[in-house]
Structure 1
Amino acid sequence: MDDLVTWLRAQLADDERVARDAEDATALSYGEWPFWPDIDDDHTFKAAETWRDRFHPKRQLAEVDAKRRILDAWRTQIEEDDPAVYLAGDIIPKLLALPYADRPGYRDEWRPE
């Protein structure tokens, strides 16, 4: 399980790097994401605007922080021999890693059943 946790922390570090790079880029624009699609349709424009705002780098950074805290709490429970960990087993890191299954290094054995 240590390999999975190490790999997952590397993915989170990469997510953080990308979000921070994007956050730095926002300072160069008008306070929003620099990405803006060329859209004529008002409904599509609003949908793109909502998507852009929802997945702002600040939210990505908050998600990275939350996932790291979950991993830390899981690890602490293992180290303290908490019985709750035996009920959950290794499902927590497996589920946290699942969105990254398309990235290099992901192993099929980590896929939750």
Structure 2
Amino acid sequence: MSDTEALIAFLRACLDEDWNCAAAAGHGFGHLPLLTEHNGGWTRLDLDENVRPSYDVRYLKWFDPHRMMAEVESKRRILDLIEPPLRGVYVDEGEQVMAQQLLRVLAVAFRGRSGFQEEWAPHD
């Protein structure tokens, strides 16, 4: 397996893991006390009982499971678009270079995950 193929496989595995985590987390927020679990562990927030700063609450609302699943799907589609040039399907060298750069940029989000290789990081 080439380095590029290994990176693609790594990214797809990370995206699958993110998708599964978000799907298991439940959906949205309600009016349950803080730390009350619902739908597989997604903690719902009640602002009246919440001791978190408002920016923490806003962050948790913006990055709910639906949003995370949409982001995973977007990244999967980007991979689908850049994979053919990476495999040499198109002959334009500029297209291959751009696809390689995009692949490395996608990898940055998973830098802390087990299996990430530093050589996958974007070149400055």
Aligned twin of 2:34: none
Higher helix proportion, which one?
A: 1
Shift of 1:103: 0.8
| 2:20 paired with 1:17 | yes
Distance in 2 between residues matched to 1:60 and 1:73, nearest whole Å: 20
Shift of 1:48: 2.5
Matched ranges for 1:1-113 at <5 A: 1-23=4-26, 29=38, 33-36=42-45, 38-39=50-51, 44=53, 46-78=54-86, 80-81=89-90, 83=92, 84-113=94-123
Whether the 8 Å contact between 2:28 and 2:64 is mirrored in structure 1 is no
Distance in 2 between residues matched to 1:82 and 1:63, nearest whole Å: 30
Higher relative CO (CA 8 A, sep ≥ 6), structure 1 or 2?
1
How many correspondences in the alignment?
106
Gaps of 5+ in 1: none
**1:30-64, Cα deviation, whole Å (9 max, x unpaired):** xxx52448417xxx2x3222111100000000000
Corresponding residue SS for 2:25: helix
Which TM-score applies when normalising by structure 1?
0.79
Distance in 1 between residues matched to 2:50 and 2:117, nearest whole Å: 39
